[in-house]
Structure 1
Amino acid sequence: MPRPVTLFTGQWADLPIVELLPKVKEMGYDGVELACWGDHFDVQAALNDDSYIANHWELLKKNDLACY
């Protein structure tokens, strides 16, 4: 089983996640490791909003990416 090639999004925190994910796929990555800064992943929002994580998974799925 081949290992997925992923990108840590921290270096790209200046780009909104909705702009970054299509670029990540275009660069040939299989998935991302989301940074907890910028708008990539907000831990407090994930804890307080039931739809937050589902929305992120949907965005990843839309761009044919996984999260590791």
Structure 2
Amino acid sequence: MTIFGRTLDGQELFALASLLTLLAFWLFVLPRERDYGRRFKQWEAERRARRLGQDGGSTRPKGKPRGPWG
């Protein structure tokens, strides 16, 4: 096979096919991975909002103050 005036042997053809396959794989996987990240961040924000809603909005644990700043 000749590409750009250069004859490719079996090993170079296999490398080219592998790279094209990897590119196609990432074209399908990357959008799904980004969508998963968005869904996880949204779920985490909703979970945090529900938890803060039950506590009355305080993120600090109740009880005796600790540390030099109380």
TM range (shorter): under 0.3
TM-score, length-scaled by structure 1: 0.23
Normalized per residue, which structure has more strand?
1
Determine which structure has more spread, i.e. the larger CA radius of gyration: 2
TM-score, length-scaled by structure 2: 0.23
Higher relative contact order (CA 8 A, sep 6+): 1
Normalized per residue, which structure has more helix?
2
